[in-house]
Amino acid sequence: MREVVIAANWKMHTTPADAGDLARTVASRTREPGVTRVICPPYVCLGPVRDALAEDHPDVAVGAQDVHHELTGAFTGEVSAPMLDGLATWVIVGHSERRRDAGETDALVAKKVGRALDAGLRPIVCVGERLADRDAGRAIDVVDTQIRGSLADVEAGRARDGGLVIAYEPV
């Protein structure tokens, strides 16, 4: 049976002041045998969430909401995989909002997947069609293209060994 993963993407909600309490509450109310739980707060809340979960809920993982495709450079406001060391063990890549709002392509998502795996992060690769694609009968083709493109640079064994997860999220 495949691993069941539930990831809570907090998007741009909460602050460092209240993130720890929220993480503890979520963790205490979502225990389910056989389910891997991941909380993905905003970057500024990664430390407080990690610290809040470490003592009472070490079985709940912390994930970042994105990662840059380069290791370093002049990329104002971006976060690289090495910067996440010690803060997160998972990372979301290819989220529909990043694809839509930041124009991220499957090729760029593939680079991010590689960086995540190189850093020992478990990537959650998001795929999903828009309503217009679904209505036009193109849902399977769109998702197939996203999966293939987002994993183009990743060897099958490496994806499996790195614990890569595909998240289907129709837009």
DSSP structure class, residue 84 = G
Distance, CA of 61 to CA of 57 (rounded, Å): 9
Which of the following is catalytic: 68, 95, 104, 129? 95
Pair 155, 130: CB distance under 8 Å: no
| Residue 69 bears catalytic tag | no
| Residue 155 bears catalytic tag | no
Count CB-CB contacts under 10 A for residue 80. Answer: 17
Pair 103, 138: CB distance under 8 Å: no
Pair 113, 138: CB distance under 8 Å: no
Active site residue ranges: 95, 169
